[in-house]
Structure formats: structure tokens, C-alpha cells
């Protein structure tokens, strides 16, 4: 079953755990994939794992000319764009909110909000040229509730929900659908960084921090990158043709409520 056969999909943060899993999943389902990131060596490895259905483009999502360039590269290589997954993001430094410098705060905002804003700005006209498509913004469960010690990250992940809802309303007439995906802790490099930072700050073992996060899911485990990729696939496919302006949690039951 090729749910996105011949569709062209752009994935930012393409060399990370979720981005790589998404690239593989879309290729398996018949899509052409452009992976975007700043880490060329990692991008090369990812494309090598996926095969001829994928290529890469090195770009910094905080630079508008480079965002425009990766969008144009997808059109130049594959003739169109059908879905854009704005997955690039950083966690920032793990510490209380008011201990962050303005520079530390601005760095997270620049990547996690600025990169999404410019990605949406470039994606809408590209998608509209071929009759519309899907923009998927990767937020987090930290975009649906607060988390201590992750202030800039939480702020950024809430902000893109508002951006998503605005874009969904404004561009529905172009058949451009916009949604956010909200992963819980996923087995990725970012979570290893968060675990390490929390362990150092709280003077606890990293395994204890892992167990604490694991226990916040009703299913009592971290998610897998492939499980997030499956949600991307659905939202990019024609099965989701009537879905726009919504938040989709991939969270093992985290948002259902308090776990006893």
C-alpha cells in the first residue's frame, strides 16, 4: 500500500531520529523525500540508508534565504512539493526560566519558532502551485502543557500551535492543510540531552530521570521515532484530506491525565 505514492515530501531536521525515521517511512510508501539539516555527514548517511527515493539539502532553518533555497530545491529536483514537515528544533539548556540569558532564549525561539514561520512562508506558495498539500509542524506535549526547566522550549512549542491555527484558517482556500504533531518523550538524541541536563541539575542518576519520564505515559514507555513518523504519514496522505487546524498527540496516553 503506497499511501503517498509519487508525492514529494520535505523534512527539516532530517538527520535526527524522528526526521530519519520519517524519511524512511515516506520512501517506503512511495514518496520522494528531501531531507534538510545543517549536518551534511549525517544527512549523507540517512540518504544512504533510504536509497534513491531520497536526497538532501544542507540548510540552516533560521536563515530565510536558505529556507527558500531548500523549498526551491525540492521543486527543481522533483517538480513539485506535496508535504512539508517542519521538524527541526532544539531543546535549549535545562535550567529554570529566569536563569536563561536573553541569548539562550533567543536561540531556541529562532530555531523553533523562526524556522517554522519561514518554513510555512515558503511552503504555502509551493504547495498551492500544485493544488494544495499538507504542512505538518512538529510541536511537543510541551506545546500543550508546561514543563519545569524547559522554559524557552515550552514557550516555543506553544507558540507554533497558534501559528498553525492561523495558517490553517488563512490558507484553507488554497487547499493547504496545516496541523501540529505533539510527541511525548521519544527515543532520540534530544531526550538523551534533556535527561542528562535534568540529572545534572537535580543531582540524580540519568536512569532515574528516564524512569520518571517513562512513568508519565499511560503505556509506560518512551515512543519510537517510527511511531511519530506514522502520524506524519497519515497527515500527509489523502486519508487526512479533511483535517486541518488541529493538534495530534503521539504520547502513549500522557495527555489523558495523571498517572497513579
* C-alpha separations of 178 from 14, 31, 124, 234, 243 in Å: 19, 19, 10, 13, 8
* 138 in a structural domain: yes
Active-site residue (options: 153, 171, 222, 248): 153
- What values do phi and psi take at 9, rounded to 5? -125, 130
* 177 in a structural domain: yes
Active site residue 153: yes
* 188 in a structural domain: yes
* 260 in a structural domain: no
* 2 in a structural domain: no
* 257 in a structural domain: no
* C-alpha separations of 120 from 78, 110, 186 in Å: 19, 14, 25
Tens digit of each residue's pLDDT (9 = 90 or more) over 105-158: 999 999 999 999 999 999 999 999 999 999 999 999 999 999 999 999 999 999
Residue 83: name the closest of 162, 179, 160, 165 by CA. Answer: 179
User: Residue 38 pLDDT more than 70?
Assistant: yes
What's the domain count of the chain? 1
Tens digit of each residue's pLDDT (9 = 90 or more) over 225-248: 999 999 999 999 999 999 999 999
In the prediction, which pLDDT does 259 show?
78
Report residue 2's pLDDT band, with 50, 70 and 90 as the boundaries: confident
* 30 in a structural domain: yes
In the prediction, which pLDDT does 1 show?
64
Report residue 34's pLDDT band, with 50, 70 and 90 as the boundaries: very high
In the prediction, which pLDDT does 118 show?
98
User: Residue 102 pLDDT more than 90?
Assistant: yes
Letter string b/e over residues 192-201, b meaning 16 or more CB atoms within 10 A of that residue's CB: eebbebbbee
* 258 in a structural domain: no
CATH number at residue 233: 3.40.50.720
Domain that holds residue 88: 8-250
Tens digit of each residue's pLDDT (9 = 90 or more) over 64-94: 999 999 999 999 999 999 999 999 999 999 9
pTM over 0.75: yes
Q: How far apart are CA 64 and CA 156, in angstroms?
A: 18
Amino acid at each position: 500500500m503506497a499511501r503517498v505514492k509519487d508525492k514529494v515530501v520535505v523534512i527539516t531536521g532530517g538527520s535526527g531520529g524522528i526526521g530519519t525515521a520519517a524519511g524512511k517511512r515516506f520512501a517506503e510508501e512511495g514518496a520522494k523525500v528531501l531531507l534538510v539539516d545543517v549536518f551534511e555527514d549525517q544527512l549523507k548517511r540517512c540518504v544512504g540508508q533510504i536509497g534513491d527515493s531520497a536526497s538532501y539539502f544542507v540548510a540552516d532553518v533560521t536563515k530565510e534565504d536558505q529556507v527558500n533555497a531548500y523549498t526551491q530545491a525540492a521543486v527543481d529536483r522533483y517538480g513539485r512539493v506535496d508535504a512539508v514537515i517542519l521538524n527541526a528544533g532544539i531543546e535549549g539548556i535545562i535550567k529554570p526560566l529566569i536563569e536563561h540569558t536573553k541569548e539562550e532564549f533567543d536561540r531556541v525561539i529562532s530555531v523553533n519558532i523562526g524556522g517554522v514561520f519561514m518554513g510555512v512562508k515558503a511552503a504555502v506558495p509551493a504547495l498551492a502551485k500544485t493544488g494544495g498539500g499538507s504542512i505538518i509542524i512538529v510541536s511537543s506535549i510541551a506545546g500543550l502543557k508546561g514543563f519545569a526547566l524547559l522554559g524557552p522550549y515550552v514557550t516555543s512549542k506553544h507558540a507554533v500551535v497558534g501559528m498553525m491555527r492561523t495558517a490553517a484558517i488563512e490558507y484553507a482556500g488554497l487547499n493547504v492543510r496545516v496541523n501540529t504533531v505533539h510527541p511525548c518523550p521519544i527515543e532520540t538524541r534530544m531526550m538523551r540531552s534533556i535527561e542528562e541536563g535534568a540529572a545534572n541539575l537535580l543531582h540524580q542518576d540519568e536512569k532515574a530521570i528516564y524512569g520518571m519520564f517513562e512513568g508519565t505515559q499511560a503505556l509506560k514507555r518512551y515512543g519510537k521515532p517510527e511511531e511519530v513518523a506514522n502520524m506524519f504519514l497519515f497527515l500527509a496522505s489523502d486519508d487526512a484530506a479533511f483535517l486541518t487546524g488541529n493538534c495530534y498527540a503521539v504520547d502513549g496516553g500522557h495527555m489523558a491525565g495523571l498517572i497513579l
